[in-house]
């Protein structure tokens, strides 16, 4: 399929590939999806630091429901390599299209913002940059190095794309020694074609496995959303697949539909089902599990990293 971007005289659509799709049903949110309004002083200060450094955050671009809570505590997750993604996943609110050139000063700006926010643990993610020869792996590594120099006591978690399966790309990120390497599976394999069509489930599992092979001490992490039409047994199979790849930390959260053009919420999973999944995941051997309706990859990432280290030390 060819997508023509006609931007003359008008603001380009945020999701040009979805603009002509039929509207999807929008299910009413249940009572247990309650979030804090983004109005606090801390929220304003975080926003100012992000803006001053010309950065993007996944908190804003993905429309994360936890932004009021996280930004009040100055916990922002940086999204590097621009605000425009080369993929068009059915669940994601990040803008899609043709991105601009990389900003070579961005790693330094991320390090500067990390210092100003006083982050003990920073999470860095990115848009997919399938247009780049290395998928953006070198830029990830440069960002890790810049944070290490500027904030030597800050621990670093990366949440990476699959680098379009480009040879050796994630090895470059592993070599820069983040403390946590996260790569999300997002959903069960049977839903990939509808939810994450540009990715391959087996490759994502293999990527996580390879990270652990390259550096067995590095913590690995992955996450899925539920409510996208998956079966419970499929979720349990994903847990087994992740454990086969020696993944340490699993996150499970409720999918929320950003707009009517995105994938519909097939089901709101009640909190007691998340609790049951958490119990099963621990029984399957994960060091850490976070499972709740509002769990997101980077939610409480600093506190969870401390618990992760303690769990390994006590294992």
Binding site for ligand SF4 (CB under 6 A): 58-59, 64, 66-67, 70, 75, 77, 296, 298-299
164 or 250, CB closer to ligand SF4?
A: 250
- Nearer to ligand SF4 among residue 56 and residue 75 (C-beta): 75
Minimum CB–partner distance for residue 7 and ligand SF4 (Å)? 28
CB 253 → ligand SF4: shortest distance, Å? 9
- N residues, the chain: 315
Listed in sequence order, the DSSP H helices in the chain are 41-52, 58-61, 67-72, 106-117, 137-150, 169-175, 192-195, 201-214, 232-244, 271-283, 301-314
CB of 75 vs ligand SF4, minimal distance in Å? 5
64, 192, 197, 202, 231 from 25: Cα distances, Å: 20, 20, 21, 30, 20
Nearer to ligand SF4, 181 or 201 (CB): 181
Q: How far apart are CA 120 and CA 115, in angstroms?
A: 9
Least separation in angstroms between residue 295's CB and ligand SF4 is: 8
Query: What is the Cβ-side half-sphere exposure of residue 125, based on CA atoms within 13 angstroms?
Result: 25
**Which tokens go with 228?**
């996208």
Rounded Cα gap, residues 243 and 226, in angstroms: 19
In the complex with ligand SF4, which residue's Cβ is closer, 228 or 294?
294
Q: Which is nearer to ligand SF4, 53 or 298 (CB)?
A: 298
Token code pair at residue 174: 């592993």
- Angle value at C-alpha 130, between 225 and 76, nearest 5 degrees: 50
Please report how close the Cβ of residue 20 comes to ligand SF4 at its closest, in angstroms.
29
- Report the nearest approach of ligand SF4 to the CB of residue 79 (Å): 9
Whichever of 169 and 256 has its CB closer to ligand SF4, that residue is 256
* Least Å from the CB of residue 301 to ligand SF4: 7
Q: Are strands 56-57 and 77-80 parallel, antiparallel or unpaired?
A: antiparallel
Nearer to ligand SF4 by Cβ, of 75 and 129: the residue is 75
Sign of CA dihedral 265, 223, 103, 130: negative
**Contact, 94 vs 58, CB < 8 A?**
yes
């Amino acid at each position: 399929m060819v997508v023509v971007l006609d931007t003359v005289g008008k603001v380009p659509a945020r999701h040009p590939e979805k603009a002509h799709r039929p509207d999807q049903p929008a299910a009413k949110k249940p009572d247990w999806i309650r979030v804090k309004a983004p109005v606090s002083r801390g929220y304003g200060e975080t926003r100012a630091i992000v803006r001053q450094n010309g950065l993007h955050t996944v908190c804003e671009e993905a429309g994360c429901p936890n932004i009021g809570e996280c930004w009040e505590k100055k916990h922002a997750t940086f999204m590097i390599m621009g605000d425009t993604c080369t993929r068009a996943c059915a669940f994601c609110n990040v803008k899609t299209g043709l991105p601009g050139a990389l900003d070579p000063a961005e790693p330094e700006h991320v390090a500067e913002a990390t210092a100003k926010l006083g982050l003990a643990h920073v999470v860095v993610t990115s848009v997919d940059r399938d247009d780049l020869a290395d998928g953006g792996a070198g830029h990830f590594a440069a960002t890790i190095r810049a944070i290490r120099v500027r904030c030597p006591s800050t621990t670093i978690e990366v949440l990476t794309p699959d680098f379009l399966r480009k040879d050796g790309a994630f090895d470059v990120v592993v070599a820069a020694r983040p403390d946590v390497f996260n790569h999300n599976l997002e959903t069960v394999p049977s839903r990939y074609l509808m939810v994450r069509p540009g990715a391959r489930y087996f490759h994502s599992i293999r990527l996580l496995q390879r990270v652990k092979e390259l550096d067995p001490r590095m913590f690995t992490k992955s996450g899925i959303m539920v409510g996208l039409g998956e079966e419970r047994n499929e979720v349990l199979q994903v847990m087994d697949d992740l454990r086969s790849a020696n993944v340490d930390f699993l996150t499970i959260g409720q999918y929320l539909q950003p707009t009517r053009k995105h994938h519909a919420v097939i089901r709101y999973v009640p909190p007691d089902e998340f609790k049951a999944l958490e119990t099963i995941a621990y029984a399957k051997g994960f060091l850490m599990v976070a499972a709740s309706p509002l769990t997101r990859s980077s939610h409480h990432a600093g506190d969870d990293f401390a618990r992760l280290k303690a769990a390994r030390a006590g294992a």
